Amino acid sequence: MRPLPLLLLLPSFAALAQPVAALQPMAFLAGHCWKGEFSGGKQTDEHCFQWLYGGQMLRDVHTVRSPGKPDYVGETTYYHDPAANKVAFLYLENSGGHSRGTMQPVDGGLDFPATDYVGAKGKTLTYRVRWTPSGDAYEAASEMLLDGRWVPQFKLLLKKQ
């Protein structure tokens, strides 16, 4: 028996999983990494997506890299919440912050309605995001709630790697 060659094939099987119906709008992301540069060109953000448990969930591991600084790393798990009949997510990151929210497919993209990010020290930031796919890329546009109004936080074009 030679188990090692079989283990090397596992990542490709994970990319080919059939997702549950609720996660189908996110299927274009699975099995790929997507990378974008923040304005100024000094920071990058890379998201790598893979199916979990035969398509029951989708994992997104993302890393923000900045010269001379430790990487900012986070992981999001998307899943169908049958009680709410929505796609929900849990986000955890390496500095101790977290977020819970939902995703809604909309014409032309994916909406992540307003939710709270809670930092390690308890400070809360309310934010919302829209992902708009376009060929081998998608645009991520994030807004934050500041003094009762929505203001741009960032806009990033992530390209398939």
Q: 126-135, pLDDT tens digit by residue?
A: 999 999 999 9
Q: What is the DSSP letter of 20?
A: -
Are 112 and 122 contacting, i.e. CB atoms less than 8 angstroms apart?
no
Q: 61-99, pLDDT tens digit by residue?
A: 999 999 999 999 999 999 999 999 999 999 999 999 999
Residue type, 78: Y
Give the span between the Cα atoms of 106 and 86, in whole angstroms.
Answer: 13
Give the predicted TM-score (pTM) of the model: 0.88
DSSP 87-109: EEEEEEETTS-EEEEEEEEETTE
What is the chain's mean pLDDT, rounded?
Answer: 91
**Of 8-12, 21-25, 52-56, 140-144, minimum mean pLDDT range:** 8-12
| Domain 3-160 is found in CATH 2.40.128.20 | yes
Q: Which residue is associated with the tokens 């796609």?
A: 87
Radius of gyration of the chain (CA): 17
Question: How much is the pLDDT for 16?
Answer: 55
pLDDT at position 56 over 90: yes
